[in-house]
Amino acid sequence: MNYIILDLTKMSLDQLRKAQAWQRAIASTRLEGIEIPSHFMHLVRKNIQGEITSQQMIDMLIEKHNRTTGDNFQSSSEKIRAKWGFK
């Protein structure tokens, strides 16, 4: 199991709020029996610490998906439209 381990004493209020939101999202995902990949947890930590934005996370995940599958999606909405046959 992956956990987000951060020093809460050195975090801003915004970082604490992000950490709390991510903890809720991860906990609800785990309740569904889905294990979170370590590379995603690494991005979550970077987002909480303010090193990357949520949009940068999405872009990195799409780029990783494209590299591993050979797809060439430019955005998450494009991927969803392709998967479900929308134009």
What pLDDT digit, counting tens, does each position of 16-58 carry?
Answer: 999 999 999 999 998 989 888 888 999 999 999 999 999 899 8
Task: Return the half-sphere exposure (C-beta side, CA atoms, 13 A cut-off) of residue 85.
Answer: 0
Question: In degrees, to the nearest 5, what angle opens at C-alpha 72 toward C-alphas 81 and 68?
Answer: 110
Q: Which residue, chain included where needed, has tokens 């090193």? A: 51
pTM, full prediction: 0.71
Residue 59: the pLDDT is 87
CB contact set of 71 (below 8 Å; sequence gap of 6+): 65, 79
pLDDT tens per residue, range 75-86:
666 766 666 666
Nearest CA to 8 out of 16, 36, 67 is that of 16
